[in-house]
Amino acid sequence: MPHRRKKTKLSWRGRIILMAAVAMAIVFLPTSFMLGIGMLPTFVALLIDRSRGKLKALTVGAMNLAGCLPFILELWVQGHNFQNAVMFMTQPRTIVVMYFSAAIGYMIEWAVSNITTSIVLERGKARIKEIEKIHEDMEEKWGKEVSGKLPLDQYGFPAEKPQAQENA
């Protein structure tokens, strides 16, 4: 049976924020219309991002909003009405800029995650070499018994005696 998430009810603060957001969306309907269409790549990123911090959605959203902002500012300057919002959204340049900026957000996230992965991998390899060097130094100082490679008997003692003890 698949694991189902428990539905949580909105707190009173959450309800107030939701009501305020809906009221603002209605009051600023032309801006909401432009953001609703322009920010679609962000909503998609939010749905497909399974990471804990939703960093992909955050990166795409920031860049997507940066691509929407010039057109929203232009809407406010030319007249904040629904006709102007529709006029902007029917121009191909508007959609291309908004969605291309979201694509740049995807590229930034991809590049940064690959760079971070490479750095972490190289640091891990360096740490392994460091541990191997420490291990070799311990073996040289304390003998083969500390290597963990000797077979052990039922009591946890080396099954083979080191050569120095056999010659004695």
pLDDT in tens, 100-135: 999 999 999 999 999 999 999 999 999 999 999 998
Q: What is the pLDDT of residue 103?
A: 97
Read off φ and ψ for residue 75, nearest 5 degrees. Answer: -60, -45
Tell me which residues of the chain have a pLDDT lower than 50. Answer: none
**The two three-digit tokens of residue 51, written as one number:** 């990471």
CA–CA dist 75, 32 (Å, integer): 12
pLDDT at 82 (0 to 100): 93
CB 38 within 8 A of CB 75: no
CA distance 39 to 108: 17
What is the reported pLDDT for 164? 52
Residue 57 tokens read as 């959605």
